[in-house]
Structure 1
Amino acid sequence: MDFALTLDWAVLLFLIAVLAGFVDSIAGGGGLITVPALLAVGLSPAQALATNKLQSTGGAFSASVYFVRRGLVNLREMRFAIFMTFAGSAAGTILVLLIDASVMRQVIPFLLVGIAAYFILSPSARNTEASTAKMSLTAFACTAGVGVGFYDGFFGPGTGSFFAIAFVSLLGYSLTMATAHTKVLNCTSNVASLLFFILGGQVVWAVGLVMLAGQFIGARLGSRMVMKRGQQIIRPMIVIISLVMTGKLMWDEYGHWLF
């Protein structure tokens, strides 16, 4: 399908991407804002998902660079986790091209409710300091890295929240550190998935590049907010985004029953 990007839509999509990048760099869930916008301008579902990966990669990269430069993430230590996340996301993207991923829409809302409950009720999620790790970084890479990366390539909504809860609960990271490391692995899974969407010819470049610029700016603003306010803003944002994503996915799946 051919798509012509008008100036009005370009400005609107840029602003939407700024907002999504800001939200996504703090708590994840930016796709909840951008995918409906991409569908609204007339992109097909496949084009919307592929183009969303392009623009979200810009936001995740911006946030990752910000956190790395400020010493919150050591890329040398994260090399194996980055590799395993890339492999998991690539496998998930290949699989979603082969089978129907609709079953995930029925499962994910309940997982997101669980994430919200965890960040509300768990003492470890309220800690501002790091706690004792339950596994090594290598084991984390082989489990959470592969698993969440696969999920991001296969379906996607809530990836940032899943990574954050894994870093907090399995590696004992503070929520600020977890958010910083989450963006690095989320960027990795986005890049892996994007490569296969590009090979499939589904990316609408004009739209994606406009939104990528907006994502880059929004993510940088959100990253600074994380550094300044940390725990104070991350926990409530993750809870809110998880519950909003749950409502959106539940409505998409079951809303037709009401009408």
Structure 2
Amino acid sequence: MIELLTVALASLLAGFVDAVVGGGGLVLVPALFSTYPTAAPATLFGTNKGASVWGTAWATHQYAKRVTLPWLALLPAALAALGGSFCGAWAVTQVDPSGLRKALPVILLAVLLYTLAKKDLGRHHAPRHTLRAQTAIAAAIGVVIGFYDGFFGPGTGSFFVFLFVRLLGFDFLHASATAKLLNTATNAAALVLFASKGHVWWHIAAVMAVANVAGSLVGTRMALARGAGFVRGMFVVVVSLLILKTGYDAFLR
């Protein structure tokens, strides 16, 4: 019961972080690995997806009721993200991702410095493309980051948010809402793959899913109430933590 309570609380916090700006895996995955140190990594990753997919789906539903999103552009992007995630999951069985592990903190640092340098980045919602161009760019983002999520994973939500802000002119609130839709697709693809291999502890995932949705509800409401500035601030915090975590894993561990 203590172990279950620990991962449920971690899932609650992860759901909150994920709903605001992504990066819930930064909380939940280490909690799972420390709580169940002898478990197979694939099983812990699968159980994580079994919980987080519900939180991202719930956040998508909540954002959709309050934020106007270009669904005609985003639904193809969600399908592209799902396909990219499947391809990435297959690729990781063929190629060693250790090189990406060392490059990731450098890429995240570049994203953070760019965001801090552009003081107005993502503060105002001003989409800058036609629907056709928006659809093509969103689909490209979906397939590339979807592939990355299936292949490696850390920071997926943050990459979605940053690219929708930088390439499509979304503010951080709209970008976060959009990221939830695409992240739901990538999480679902990964969950199907892990489940097909028997790598999900469903009884633990079910408890964690309830906690994740609860955290998602709080995070979504806070983001909607406080707006793009709050989401931008959370983005900076989460990316900074991701740089520290991935840098430690790549160079010091």
Smaller-chain TM-score bracket? over 0.9
Contact 1:50 1:203 in 2 (8 A): yes
Displacement of 1:124: 4.8
- Structure 2 unaligned runs (5+)? none
Within the candidate set 48, 53, 56, 2:52 is matched to: 56
Displacement of 1:81: 1.1
CA deviation digits over 1:74-106, x for unaligned, max 9?
A: 544422111111111111111113332222211
- In 1, distance between residues paired with 2:152 and 2:125? 32
Contact 2:102 2:251 in 1 (8 A): no
Aligned with 2:200: secondary structure? coil
Contact 1:28 1:160 in 2 (8 A): yes
1:33 aligns with 2:27: yes
CA deviation digits over 1:166-215, x for unaligned, max 9?
A: 11111111111111111001111111111111111111112211111111
Aligned length: 250
- In 2, distance between residues paired with 1:138 and 1:132? 12
Contact 1:20 1:34 in 2 (8 A): yes
- In 2, distance between residues paired with 1:236 and 1:219? 18
Number of the residue aligned with 1:79: 75
User: CA 1:207–1:254 in 2, change beyond 3 Å: closer, same or farther?
Assistant: same
Aligned with 1:125: secondary structure? coil
1:16 aligns with 2:5: no
- In 1, distance between residues paired with 2:204 and 2:185? 22
Number of the residue aligned with 2:209: 212
- In 2, distance between residues paired with 1:98 and 1:51? 23
Number of the residue aligned with 1:128: 124
- In 2, distance between residues paired with 1:173 and 1:130? 6
Contact 2:73 2:135 in 1 (8 A): no
- In 1, distance between residues paired with 2:198 and 2:117? 44
Which of 130-139 and 216-225 deviates more?
A: 130-139
Displacement of 1:126: 4.5
Give the TM-score normalised by the residue count of structure 1.
Answer: 0.90
Contact 2:51 2:206 in 1 (8 A): yes
- In 1, distance between residues paired with 2:139 and 2:5? 41
Contact 1:17 1:215 in 2 (8 A): yes
- Structure 1 unaligned runs (5+)? 1-6
- In 2, distance between residues paired with 1:142 and 1:178? 14
2:17 counterpart letter in structure 1: V
Identity %, equivalent residues = 35
Which of 138-147 and 241-250 deviates more?
A: 138-147
